[in-house]
Structure 1
């Protein structure tokens, strides 16, 4: 059986009304009930008048009871399965996890008739009384720390806004800390690069000094002038030999082979292993890459055995670098120092891998060939071109 509000103890009625209605709502109640002279009443006077009116059954207490019942009805489902004892324990324990206002908890704790209702009301009063003391201490401290102008809802809104701002500042602070860590990492990387560049600069200075000494030991400018003079003499003598050959052919002294100059090397050149272009430059005769070390950076991992077989079929020695370059680039430089040429496909390598390969070859004074494709056909064609270039150099050395 439900109890009505005029059956509650006075202190219970006082807490329920005080927690439920603020000054604006109390003015609306007085206006709705057409109670005279309510415009001049203070908030405490309106509250006292309502508590006194609810002490007995009348049109005011009936209206208040109906209003409270309708307002708290939406919280009934959240307290389903709890009896008055359980709700009392919730109030005593300060449990707000069910998101039910304290006024509604008090209402449902004392609403139904029970043989222990007086004991329950006493327990509820004691628990609420202690919570009132805590709330007053908090309010007193808050008043001394912050200006509390406006209604309770406005103050709560300001506190919530401050909490949101605090969380936003915390997120910004965390983001700033992450950026600082990132900047520190970048600074450390720059310092490492600077240290490595310093080492490379010292090495370059050392090599430059060695080249200068070798240049001076070889005669310097004087040796260069001698080479230029010898080159001019070779061109002059070659022209003279060509003239003599023509004269010999004209006189019939030699029907097929000239006996002097460049012509005397033609048979030798024809007998040397050269590139066979009859099938579009697809193969090499002899050992055109014999004694040459060839390196490939990157490429298709599954084709590495095929790359190796292609180089070895031409008589060369194959080296491979996966194309993954760490902060230390000496492994690329060491590879460039071992080989005669480096091939680097641009379609399967990163920009850094291509850049490091180029720098390493330049540092070691080795040729670097960039391939548009990692396919075997493109690699084979570049090998053939490289072999042709090497053969031309041999011919030039022989004719020189």
Structure 2
């Protein structure tokens, strides 16, 4: 504790006259004031319970001016003035009661000395001893023994606080050095981060430029596609019956392919016939009487390069019609007379045909009159067949005057 003796400090000439008050016994109900406490309690109360800035403010207020004394002189003078009731001690009393009012109210509930001790021990464990020290010292149940114990505890707590401050100061200095090191490291990291951000920004700008160029190229391609689509649409519009022509070309390709296949089959058949004839000749080489070999004239000679159009007929006989026409060297084309095929194709088929066979029994009226009118106008040879059979078709072909030599062959084919 501070040993200030009985010497009055320089502040005593500015204080009021002290009032003599009787001490309150430990059995009363009135809280003691700071001037009621013994001198050895004033030093810890002023030093622990009032911060130096607040204490200097109170002294300046009591002196009505600016005090130029240092902190130690302020502390010593305030401790000396607390021994009697005066303006300084009253201001200190008021400051302590206002600052620790809540703690004082908590201690007021303690009705026994043991309860005061428990509250004080709890405050030590919590670490908030300033308010508890003031409330316990001024409590009505605080006697000389409890007062001495409180002062001893506070004395040791001050020593521990000093040691803690020194340890904290060492840790603080270490933290300052560590903070300086981390600050330098942070500066390097920030510099590296700034450099990376600059590089990334440049890269992003370059990629954005490329993206803009690609988008421009894409827009140009889309525009070109749109223009080309418009041109295609205009061309389709300018060419009438484009779909019809496409279908005709497709059928023409099919017919050409079929003709090629038939010609290939014919050549193979002729080769086989020649081989067969040669083998027969070798077998009868030594025989004087040779059986006459009937050689069938190649059927491709009869309708060579002739396009025969069959209009109408039964769909199941179309393959027989085709086989009959192609076996005599013709090119077969068929139109169902408007049942499934488009009637707009009929005129084109009629124009491409050399010979027309009209199946009157299986044809629509419209197609019948169109065939008849077309052949009449163009002078194209047309045969009207009532029965949609293969035999009737063969007989109809016999009516052409330019193929009279085909009679025997067609009779044989119809019998087959």
TM-score > 0.5 by shorter chain: no
Scaled to the shorter chain, the TM-score interval is: 0.3 to 0.5
